[in-house]
Amino acid sequence: MAVWLKHGMSFNKEGKLVPTDVKIEGGRIAAIGRELPVDGEGNVVDVQGKLIAPGLIDVHVHLREPGGEAKETIETGTLAAAKGGFTTVAAMPNTNPVPDRKEQMEWLSRRIRETAHVHVLPYAAITIGQKGEELTDFAALKEAGAFAFTDDGVGVQSAGMMFEAMKRAAALDMAIVAHCEDDTLKNGGAVHDGDFARRYGLAGIPSVCEAVHIARDVLLAEAAGCHYHVCHISTKESVRVVRDAKRAGIRVTAEVTPHHLLLCDEDIPGLDANYKMNPPLRSRADREALIEGLLDGTIDLIATDHAPHTAAEKAKGIEVAPFGIVGLETAFPLLYTHLVKTGLVTLKQLIDWLTIKPAQCFGLDAGRLEVGAPADLTVIDLETEETINPETFASKGNNTPFAGWACQGWPVMTLVGGTIVWEKGRA
């Protein structure tokens, strides 16, 4: 049975917003046009002038299952994704147990099929237990459904081990996705090594801690012929390293989070652990370099690093509370309000960084509003203003520094394979 989305707006090939209807059949987009005829039986949905966009893609989320179900589950995390307009998410492997062997990856794939509301691409670990001591069986993990390889949450400290991992990944045409952090430079820090840390007498994490790891890895990736992807880039030095690597022809891609684009350490109001994430909020100059890096193509895409924690954990204070904030449900409205509405970027650029760009980086059949493409779509209300209220989140986590922010650009409907998986106001 067909589905028609009527009276919406979308971008045409020239990048202009035009009136748009979309017809969906068999889980794919069957037709796109203006005033498409409703022929035959089906479900007609009047989206009343709202934006119809490809379903958003997030290549960096933490769903916590197995082992961290008090923080999040695949079911709750993917419902949060759907509410935020995301139809594809990639789940990081820092779970308990870690997906570091074929049997665990097979279990995870089954659990995703049973409980997920949106597409979930599971990462496998680079090293056993993410301990950096022994490489996993890459071929077996790929066969069992691994999307790519990462030890996200910890950086691979041994250059020799990372080089061997890259060679194995390249042989399988798989990506190495890296949390970049040199442990010898972390200083036990909880925040950026800047004015905020000095004001409160906190140990700081220096920018070089990240940048030096990226500099090492891009050279290893060049030698290995590997696709190397940098997680949550946060410093101006890191942007410079990636820019230079791309100019040298190295196959490197990079992501940046909404919180690093919108906040810096000057914005932290006090010892509030909802402002604690890794990498930390950096300086104003770093934030400006990240925006510049997005605009000039050095940074390829935006990813949330959705990292839910319990309220009790975050209540322990900024020095000892875990790193991380939630982001799936607030990413688009925050970015639309504070980047697009302020004129820093265009709506088309923002949509691309959240759809076609991640799809292109990782070779996904997603992120396109085209006839024949999967009918993974989000409908967005660009006009209505709402205030971010963590008590209404679908995620189990409400750890966000953006509570109380007024935003426009709220998703109101999300479709996966032509099926409505979330709709505003519908239980």
How far apart (Å, rounded) are the C-alpha atoms in residues 168 and 139?
Answer: 8
User: And the tokens for 52?
Assistant: 């119809």
How far apart (Å, rounded) are the C-alpha atoms in residues 9 and 114?
Answer: 34
CB atoms within 10 A of CB 233: 28
* Residue 309 CB contacts under 8 Å (≥ 6 apart), including other chains: 71, 321, 322, 324, 397, 399
Q: What is the dihedral of CA 414, 419, 425, 427, to 10 degrees?
A: -130
How far apart (Å, rounded) are the C-alpha atoms in residues 177 and 301?
Answer: 14
Q: Which of 151, 193, 300, 305 is catalytic?
A: 305
Rounded to the nearest 5°, which phi and psi values hold at 247? -65, -30
* Residue 327 CB contacts under 8 Å (≥ 6 apart), including other chains: 257, 258, 259, 304, 305, 306, 307, 400
User: And the tokens for 178?
Assistant: 């890296």
Please check whether residue 275 is in contact with residue 318, taking contact to mean a CB–CB distance below 8 angstroms. yes
Of the candidates 413, 384, 333, the residue with the CA atom closest to the CA atom of residue 6: 413
Adjacent-strand bridge partners of 29: 24
User: And the tokens for 38?
Assistant: 């409703």
Please check whether residue 257 is in contact with residue 401, taking contact to mean a CB–CB distance below 8 angstroms. no
User: And the tokens for 383?
Assistant: 């006009």
What residue type is 304 in one-letter code?
T
Between 159-171 and 208-224, two packed helices, what is the crossing angle to 10 degrees? 40
352 labelled catalytic: no
* Catalytic residue set: 305
